[in-house]
Structure 1
């Protein structure tokens, strides 16, 4: 579904991504793990169109979208849940979710998708009239994911969805990611909690200082001595 070919990204003189290549197949959960500053967030931001690459290609369903705008990428099936949740605090839960469908015109299907989000996140249904800024951190993360799903994406980009959450909520968020994937949405996940990410990922890439240094199935990387020492505390 998604192919990134030899992607280079600069921030001024800083060469942040140095030839990143990866693929995400239809129906997969693929995770990117690596240390802070390795280039994980930059990779997602470039795929979603928030950062322009210096060179390289981004292909979605066989179509080169490297020069497409961020808005166009949402329209054709890429939805991005950024690090830090970024909900619209002064708007209600329902208004946040409706904004996720702002490029869509199919009102009946939007209503169906809203029901699906409320089925997936019952707490959001209970709080649909509540201001998003008054939700807990875990609830805001659920809202951010729900809002992204309202665009009916082919692929969902998730950046650090467990950041700042209590351990029980972390487990809940990862269960939700599995549910989203089992319902037909492909997922590209960036996550500091490497153990949890590898447990649910079909495949994984390890990124260090802007380069992919290792790849394999989630299970293979869980068993790698190198990964255990660097990321799993083993």
Structure 2
């Protein structure tokens, strides 16, 4: 991969859960302006990778850099301030807060009130349904709307990199299509995306570059269209 616009670099990363070696020396690069996807079966270590980038899980060894700055094991709130946001698996919205209050929580590290107002309008333009439901409690939204809220909340920190963990999980096919269209739009407006997704076909359709993760090891990487056409990937993840 090109190094000149590298925004995120993971080098020789190891992560353990007690005696279990979850991540075994992986290297990942994300270039500015790209959508990079990490595909793999359940339990391959995809979520652990994202959680380690934002210090929800501690790295045993290895280096994580944002631009030129090392951020390995830097506290999570500081990482958000530096420009990485995570929309977690399972959405984890605040169900007792309104849509508006959930979005406000996404901007909690920021003090630029005028820009925050502009970003509300931006996320409402991306997700018109959230604008319609801004006074509703998060817990009353449909699954698809909650997923949109989780993504919008992450965007409210105005990240350099938006990390999405299984955004299509549990959604009807039509909604999956809509969510991926929105991911493309977010990217086209300048946000770099690191996408973890079990729906390998949908992920490879939107991504520029892809990594295949199997039991904590990267077994393959390359331009997303090449990975999509690889016979082993087709057999394992794309239904032959």
TM tier, shorter chain?
over 0.9
Which residue, out of 168, 180, 183, partners 1:174? 180
- Residues 1:67 and 2:70 are matched in the alignment: no
User: Match of 1:9?
Assistant: 15
Matches within 5 A, 1:175-214: 175-214=181-220
1:151 aligns with 2:157: yes
How far does residue 231 in structure 1 lie from its aligned partner after superposition?
A: 0.5
For 2:32 and 2:107, the matched residues in 1 are separated by 22
Kindly state the Cα deviation for residue 174 of structure 1 after the two structures are TM-superposed: 0.3
- State how far apart, in whole Å, the 2-side matches of 1:157 and 1:146 are: 12
CA positional deviation for 1:173 = 0.4
Mapped partners of 1:82, 1:133: distance in 2: 16
Shift of 1:67: 2.8
Report how far residue 222 of structure 1 moved: 1.0
How does the TM-score come out when normalised to structure 1?
0.99
Moved segments of 4+, more than 4 Å? none
Kept in 1, the 8 Å contact 2:13–2:26? The answer is: yes
Deviations 1:68-125 (A, max 9, x none): 1000000000000110001000000000000100010000000000000001100000
Q: Distance in 2 between the 1:221 and 1:193 partners?
A: 14
Q: Root-mean-square deviation (CA), in Å?
A: 0.5
Query: Could you tell me how far apart the structure 2 residues matched to 1:84 and 1:68 are?
Result: 24
* Matched ranges for 1:128-139 at <5 A: 128-139=134-145
Gaps of 5+ in 2: 1-6
Alignment of 1:55-94 (within 5 A): 55-94=61-100
Which residue number in structure 1 is paired with residue 4 of structure 2?
none
Q: Offset at 1:48?
A: 1.2
Distance across 2 between alignment mates of 1:103 and 1:195: 35
Give the structure 2 partner of residue 126 of structure 1: 132
Q: Which residue matches 1:163?
A: 169
Taking the aligned partners of 1:91 and 1:54, their CA distance within structure 2 comes to 36
* Inter-partner Cα distance in structure 2 for 1:19 and 1:222: 24
SS at match of 1:206: strand
Q: Distance in 1 between matches of 2:42 and 2:151?
A: 22
Paired with 1:222 and 1:10, the residues of 2 have a C-alpha distance of 30
Matched with 2:39 is 33
Q: Does 1:112 align with 2:118?
A: yes
Give TM-score scaled by structure 2 length: 0.97
Query: Which consecutive unaligned segments of at least 5 residues does structure 1 have?
Result: none
